[in-house]
Amino acid sequence: MSRPSRCVTILGSTGSIGVNTLRVLAEHPGKFSVHALTANSNSALLASQCREFSPRYAVMRDAAGAVQLQSELKNSGLATEVLYGQAALTAVASAPEVDTVMAAIVGGAGLVPTLAAVTAGKKVLLANKESLVMAGDLFMEAARNSGAAILPIDSEHNAIFQCLPMNAQARFEHSHLSGFEKIVLTASGGPFRALPAEQFAQVSPEQACAHPNWVMGRKISVDSATLVNKGLELIEASYLFAVPPARIEVVIHPQSIIHSLVYYRDGSVLAQLGNPDMRTPIAFGLAWPERIHAGVELLDLVRTGRLEFQAPDLERFPGLALGRAAAEARGASPIVFNAANEVAVAAFLAGQLSFVQIPAIIAGTLESAVFPAPLTLSDVLQIDAESRALSAELIVKAAGKSAGPLP
C-alpha cells in the first residue's frame, strides 16, 4: 500500500525558492500534493504553476492581482479557487489538511503567514529568515507550544541543522547540545568580494544582482553583495539554534561548496558540502527525516579542485558588523536592522540610493530608532512600520547628495 501524499502550501511560489520547490515536487509525483500556491504580483507565472500542479487555492497579494489571475485561469478547467490578502495567506498556511508549509515570501511580508503556520503546528520549511529576525523569541515560543517542526532552508542554516546530532534535530533542543563549541556560517563574498572599496559608489543594481554562485531574487542578491545577508543569517542562527552571537562566526568561502560548519569541543568539525543549488536543502526539508532525489548533480571534489577561506572585511562591508551588533543587542534591534535594510535595498534597486549608502541608512536608522523590546506580534509590526518610516526619511534627506555614507 502506497504512503499517502504529503499536502504542501508554498508561500511565495513564484520566487526562486518557490520555483525550485515545485521543481523538486515534480521529481516525485504522487508523494506530494499542493494545497495552495501564493504570489505577490506575478499572476502569469502563478497561473502556469496552477495549470501544472492544480492547487486547491491560489492566493495573490491584492484584489487587482486576484482579478488578473482569474483572467489568466479562465477556461483552464481548474477547480482552483483564487483568493487574495493576508487573511487568505494565513488561512492556507494553517489549514488543517496541510502537513508542510514552505515559507518563502521575501522580507517582513512573510512574518504573519509564517507565524500562523508555526502556531498551527505545521512542518515549516523556513526560507523567510526575516520571520526569525523580526520575531525570534515569539516565533520559537510558538513552535515550542504548538509542536511545530522548523526546518531551515537557507543553505547555511540547513547545513548547521544537518551537522547537529539527530536527537537534537528531532527534538529541536539546540540549547542543550553536548560538546557544542561554535557555529561557522560561510559566505561567498558576493560579486564585489575583490572590488576596490572606492568603486562601490558606482555599483549598479544589475551588477549587485549578478551573484557569482547562486541564482536568487533581486533583494537577496543585493543583501549578499553588501554582506547584510550574513548579518540577517547570524541573527536567525542565534534564535533558531539558541546560540549566543559570540559563538557564531562568519567566514568567506568563494566556492560556496561548504555551506556551514559546526565545531565541537573534542576538536571535531562537522561540515555539510554540496553544489550550490537550493534544491538540495529544499528536498531535505520536504522529506525530512528521509532523503529524496533533488535533481542536483553530485559534488565532484576533484573537479572542484580547491576550497578557499578568508575573514570578512568589515570596513568594506559594514552591514555585517551592523547585523552582529543587532544580534547582540536583541530586543527591537533586529527588527530595526531588517526594516532599514529592506527600505534601503528597495531604494537602491529603484535608483534612489547608491550601493554604498545602504549600510549608512541602516546605521542611521539603528541610531535614531529607540524602542522597547517587543512582547507581542503587534509590537513587532509597529516597530517594523516605524523603522521603515525612519529609513524613508533618511533616504529623502540623502537625495541630491553625492554617493557616500550619510553624515
What percentage of the chain carries pLDDT values higher than 70? 93
Longest Cα–Cα distance of the chain, Å, equals 69
> Domain ends where: 119, 153, 187?
153
> Is the confidence at residue 167, as pLDDT, over 70?
no
Residues 6 or more apart whose CB falls under 8 angstroms from that of 384 comprise: 108, 134, 335, 338, 339
pLDDT value for 180 = 86
Residue 305 C-alpha cell reads as 579542485
Span 44-69, pLDDT tens digits: 999 999 999 999 999 999 999 999 99
Q: State the pLDDT confidence band at 211, using cuts at 50, 70 and 90.
A: confident
Torsion region of 43: left, alpha or beta (phi above 0 gives left; psi -120 to 50 gives alpha): alpha
Domain count, the chain: 2
Cα torsion through 347, 353, 358, 360, rounded to 10: -130
What is the Cα–Cα distance from 372 to 42, expressed in whole angstroms?
A: 37
State which amino acid sits at residue 110.
Answer: G
pLDDT tier, 212 (very low <50, low <70, confident <90, very high otherwise): confident
- Mean of the per-residue pLDDT values for the chain? 92
Tell whether the model's pLDDT for residue 189 goes beyond 50.
yes
Say yes or no to pLDDT of 173 above 80: no
* Confidence check: pLDDT of 192 > 50: yes
The one-letter amino acid code at 353 reads L
pLDDT at 166 over 70: no
The confidence score (pLDDT) of residue 407 equals 31
Contact yes or no for 260/157 (Cβ under 8 A): yes
pLDDT at 181 > cutoff 70: yes
CB 18 within 8 A of CB 12: yes
Question: Is residue 269 in some structural domain?
Answer: yes
pLDDT digits (tens, 9 = 90+) for 20-33: 999 999 999 999 99
For 90, 93, 130, 331, the CA distances from 380, given in Å and listed in that order, are 17, 20, 12, 10
pLDDT tens track for 308-365: 999 999 999 999 999 999 999 999 999 999 999 999 999 999 999 999 999 999 999 9
pLDDT, residue 225, reads 94
If asked whether residues 376 and 258 sit together in one domain, one would say: yes
Q: What is the pLDDT of residues 68-113, one digit of tens each?
A: 999 999 989 999 999 999 999 999 999 999 999 999 998 899 999 9
pLDDT of 15 over the 80 cut: yes
- Do 104 and 186 lie in one domain? The reply is no
Identity of residue 313: D
Q: Which domain holds residue 387?
A: 174-398
Q: Is residue 404 part of a domain?
A: no
pLDDT tens per residue across span 217-268: 889 899 999 999 999 999 999 999 999 999 999 999 999 999 999 999 999 9
How do 269-273 and 6-11 pair as beta strands?
unpaired
Q: How far is residue 75's CA from residue 267's CA, in Å, rounded to a whole number?
A: 63
pLDDT tens by residue, 135-159:
999 999 999 999 999 999 999 999 9
Residue 178 counted as domain residue: yes
CA distance 171 to 149: 9
Q: What is the CATH number of the domain that holds 19?
A: 3.40.50.720
Q: Is the pLDDT of residue 171 over 50?
A: no
Residue 167 lies in a domain: no
* In a shared domain, residues 185 and 126: no
pTM of the model: 0.92
What residue has cell string 553536548?
178
Give the strand order in the sheet containing 248-252. 248-252, 180-187, 258-264, 269-273
Rg (C-alpha) for the chain, rounded Å, is 21
Domain boundary residue, one of 95, 119, 153: 153
First to last CA, the chain: 68
**DSSP state string for 31-79:** TEEEEEEEESS-HHHHHHHHHHH--SEEEESSHHHHHHHHHHHTTS---
Cα(101)–Cα(309) distance, rounded to whole angstroms?
Answer: 35
Domain end (from 88, 118, 153)? 153
Phi, psi of 211 (to 5 degrees): -70, 140
Confidence of residue 213 (pLDDT cuts 50, 70, 90): confident
* pLDDT given at position 402: 46
Could you tell me if 372 and 267 lie in one domain? yes
Shared domain for 147 and 215, answered yes or no, is no
SS3 labels along 255-314 = CCCEEEEEEECCCCEEEEECCCCCHHHHHHHHHCCCCCCCCCCCCCHHHHCCCCCECCCC
- What pLDDT is recorded for position 198? 92
Residue 406 has pLDDT above 90, yes or no: no
Is residue 36 within 8 Å of residue 10, measured between CB atoms? yes
pLDDT at 304: 94
DSSP string spanning 178-208?
TTEEEEEEEE---TTTTS-GGGGGG--HHHH
Cell of 362: 541602516
Q: Are residues 133 and 243 in the same domain?
A: no
Is there a single domain that holds both residue 283 and residue 234? yes
Phi-psi category of residue 400: left, alpha or beta, with phi > 0 → left and psi -120 to 50 → alpha: left
Model confidence at 165, pLDDT cuts 50, 70, 90, reads: confident
- Residue 400: the pLDDT is 59
Strand partners, 151: 125
Strand, coil or helix: what is 330? coil
Of 74-78, 176-180, 191-195, 328-332, give the lowest mean pLDDT range: 176-180
